[in-house]
Amino acid sequence: MTDRITKNTARNIYFGGSLFAILVFAGLTFDTVQKFPELTNEDKLTHSVARGKNLWEVNNCVGCHTIMGEGAYYAPELANAFDRLGAGDEEAFKSYMQGWMAAQPLDIPNRRKMPQFNLTNDQVNDLASFLIWTSKIDDNEWPPNIEG
């Protein structure tokens, strides 16, 4: 064996390593795609959830809130809002959301003010449905605590 790597050896290492990395990446991608339905609860998507997601985007909620760690850190994380505020009761959570959204902006000193979006009761229910659906996604224990 020589002390130097030849051009052929270097080329073989490069192509062999690249092929190995591509195969590992393709395998992991395939595995992840296969798990999407199980992890995301896509079988529980309803029109109400889709309308709630649209409201989330149209009103730029992500401009202040985070959801599953994505968004701005100005206001609380909302991926666990149903768990935190609804305690597993969908009707109680929707009632809470109706009251909360109607009461905005709260005039509490030293507290950030959420704008009044003037949403209808149906729109608030759709937004609540979106947050309920989001809370049931397997997000690998995110956020790390119930407070978000």
- pLDDT score of 1: 54
CA distance 5 to 7: 7
CA distance 75 to 30: 36
Which residues, 6+ apart, have CB-to-CB distance to 18 below 8 Å?
none
* 6-64 pLDDT per residue, tens: 999 999 999 999 999 999 999 999 998 998 877 777 888 899 999 999 999 999 999 99
Domain ranges of the chain: 1-38, 41-148
Output the CATH code of domain 41-148. Answer: 1.10.760.10
* 93-105 pLDDT per residue, tens: 999 999 999 999 9
Confidence of residue 148 (pLDDT cuts 50, 70, 90): low
Stated pTM of the model = 0.75
